[in-house]
A and B are shown apart, each in its own frame.
Chain A
Amino acid sequence: SQKIEQNSEALNIQEGKTATLTCNYTNYSPAYLQWYRQDPGRGPVFLLLIRENEKEKRKERLKVTFDTTLKQSLFHITASQPADSATYLCALMDSNYQLIWGAGTKLIIKP
């Protein structure tokens, strides 16, 4: 069956360190993968997109990698700040042109 998995446990990181979140998928061959941020009581906000032929994408303190062999994307936040605390969702496009979403990983940055 097709699955997209993110670590369901909250990730606690000390301020200033790099936070790394994982998104694994099975039985998909996505053309691209997206990362979103969701704060409590709000809708997801788009952060980054990475295509299947791209290994890495950066935006300010954010970096996304995409390994289609491992079927995995990693999302990094460097020099993390308490304001980075949120739930981070990955989503991939399936063969029916729909975004399939992971359940998200809650990130907590401790001052």
Chain B
Amino acid sequence: DTAVSQTPKYLVTQMGNDKSIKCEQNLGHDTMYWYKQDSKKFLKIMFSYNNKELIINETVPNRFSPKSPDKAHLNLHINSLELGDSAVYFCASSQDSPLAGYNEQFFGPGTRLTVL
């Protein structure tokens, strides 16, 4: 069984379009995350939700809007896509909130977004 799944795996789109990436975890975890991995392979946190509440909101353009309908799902919607948004986006989950301390994170397979 897949622990953290993301769809789609690949997303190719034109500048200016709006797109969404979906994430689901079946681990029963309370916290979910969105990361962006750029071409230099750095992983950067974008958002984190704990029990559907936003707890980490890094400085990302407000074109990016996360939505957590329940604690097993965290979707990422991106408006007016730009060339610089091209990257691999990873969803992850952890048992507890990072505010609680140690937290092993479980990652999805990633979504490779290419903006043309």
Residue positions of A touching B, CB distance < 8 A: 31-32, 34, 41-46, 49, 51, 87, 89, 91, 93, 96-99, 101-104
Query: Counting CB contacts under 8 A, is B101 at the interface?
Result: yes
* Range for the number of chain B residues in contact with chain A: 20 to 34
A103 interface neighbour in B40, B92, B97, B106, Cβ under 8 Å:
B40
A-B contact count (CB 8 A): 52
Some 15 contacts from A to B, beta carbons below 8 A apart, are: A32-B102, A34-B104, A41-B110, A43-B107, A43-B109, A44-B43, A46-B105, A49-B104, A96-B56, A97-B99, A98-B56, A99-B45, A99-B98, A103-B40, A103-B41
- Contact present for A41 and B109 (CB under 8 Å): yes
Query: Counting CB contacts under 8 A, is B66 at the interface?
Result: no
| Bound CA–CA A93/B102 (angstroms) | 8
